[in-house]
Amino acid sequence: MVESSTVRNRKPRGVRREQILEAATVAFGNSGFRGVSLADIAATVGISQPGLLHHFRSKEELLIAALERRDEDSSRHMAAVFDGATAVDALLALCRHNLESPESMRLYAVTAAESIEPAHPAREFFQRRYTWVRASVAGHVRRDQEAGLLRPELDPDDTAAEILAVMDGLQVQWLLDPSVDLCAIMATYLQRLALPGTSGQEATR
């Protein structure tokens, strides 16, 4: 019995959803939220726009889902790395992990910049995200200060905001010019926060 093209092209809902998110990550990262349509993303996946809307009700919902997918991947990685690691080691591990996913890095950089616009659909997402990530990094800074690994005069909250600014800025520079050694520069910066001789194994690699 010969399968029809409809049967052959039918994929499990989870598989199709993941394909849409992958295509959306690339499309939004390359063109921004305003520069791409649902029809463009649907065509990339090989489905109709109504077929895409079966998984995501709007372009706004698709954008947030793509950003949340990226964050879930980073969170899983950080949860594993931060277990027993110093803040310096964990942040450098995240830096290397991000380099393995340039499409996700581009999605983050482009939409974070766009979200400055008050009406942008990802504005609230990034406001919540920065609040949560700053608090998380500040907590790890405090822990390492108590362990005698980071300079005691550092303000944890200000240092967390500074770390995010440095990492995000370096990622933009790397996206513009891959010859920028993102992780090496990040390692040098983080070593300045550590007490001498306590920067961790990862920071010296």
- Say if CB 92 and CB 51 are below 8 A apart: no
- Residue 78: the pLDDT is 72
Q: How does pLDDT run across 78-97, given as a tens digit for each residue? A: 777 666 778 898 899 889 98
Mean pLDDT of 64-74: 92
Alpha helices, DSSP H, located in 83-179: 87-99, 102-114, 123-146, 156-176
Q: Which amino acid is at 118?
A: P
Structure confidence by residue, pLDDT tens digits, 27-36: 999 999 999 9
Look at residue 86 in the predicted model and tell me its pLDDT: 87
For residue 36, give Cα distances in angstroms to 26, 44, 151: 10, 12, 46
d(CA 120, CA 184): 34
Quote the mean pLDDT of the chain: 88
Instruction: List the domains of the chain with CATH numbers.
Output: 5-204 (1.10.357.10)
Compute the C-alpha angle 84/90/94, nearest 5°: 140
Centre a 10 Å sphere on the Cβ of residue 38 and count the other Cβ atoms it contains.
18
- In the structure, what pLDDT confidence band is assigned to residue 11 with cuts at 50, 70 and 90? low
Q: pLDDT for 109-157, tens place per residue?
A: 999 999 999 999 999 999 999 999 999 999 999 999 999 999 999 999 9
Instruction: Give the model's confidence band at 12: pLDDT under 50 very low, under 70 low, under 90 confident, else very high.
Output: low
What's the pTM? Answer: 0.84
Residue 3 has pLDDT above 70, yes or no: no
Nearest 5 degrees, angle CA 141-CA 80-CA 154? 5
